[in-house]
């Protein structure tokens, strides 16, 4: 699946987009975040306050308990500030 990062999540993670293949036990957005945090200090830093990070699966907002099975694109970003 393809992961996208925006705003300060992107800056802290040091990457804008990547392809990943998380292991089988990773079933929800929350579990994906936990898995990402273990990939290195940048990700641990970017997702340190996981509760403020918002997620979208295939360009729709989802909660952290959403299942990721079948997702093609998952994005992580801070609360939006447009308008």
Partner 1 sequence: MIRVQREDFDVGAEIARIKARRSDIGAIVTFTGTVRDRDGAVAAMTLEHYPGMTEAELARVEAEACARFALQASLIVHRYGTLEPGDNIVLVATASEHREAAFEAARFLMDYLKTRAPFWKREDGPSGARWVEAEARDEAATARWSKEPAAKQP
Least Å distance between CB 54 and partner 1? 9
Token output for 63: 């909660």
The residues with which 61 forms a beta bridge, in sequence order, are 56
Sign of the CA dihedral with 57 first, then 53, 10, and 14 last:
negative
Pick from 25, 51, 60, 72 the residue near partner 1 by CB under 8 A. 60
Residue 77 interacting with partner 1 (CB under 8 A): yes
Residue 83 interacting with partner 1 (CB under 8 A): yes
The residues with which 75 forms a beta bridge, in sequence order, are 4, 56
Least Å distance between CB 24 and partner 1? 27
Cα(12)–Cα(24) distance, rounded to whole angstroms?
A: 26
Least Å distance between CB 27 and partner 1? 23
**Which residues of this chain interact with partner 1, rule CB under 8 A?**
4, 6-8, 56, 59-61, 75, 77-83
């Amino acid at each position: 699946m393809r992961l996208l990062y925006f705003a300060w999540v992107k800056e802290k993670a040091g990457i804008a987009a990547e392809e990943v293949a998380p292991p089988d036990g990773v079933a929800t957005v929350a579990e994906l975040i936990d898995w990402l945090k273990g990939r290195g200090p940048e990700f641990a830093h970017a997702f340190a306050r996981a509760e403020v990070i918002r997620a979208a699966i295939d360009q729709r907002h989802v909660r952290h308990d959403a299942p990721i099975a079948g997702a093609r694109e998952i994005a992580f970003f801070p609360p939006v500030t447009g308008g």
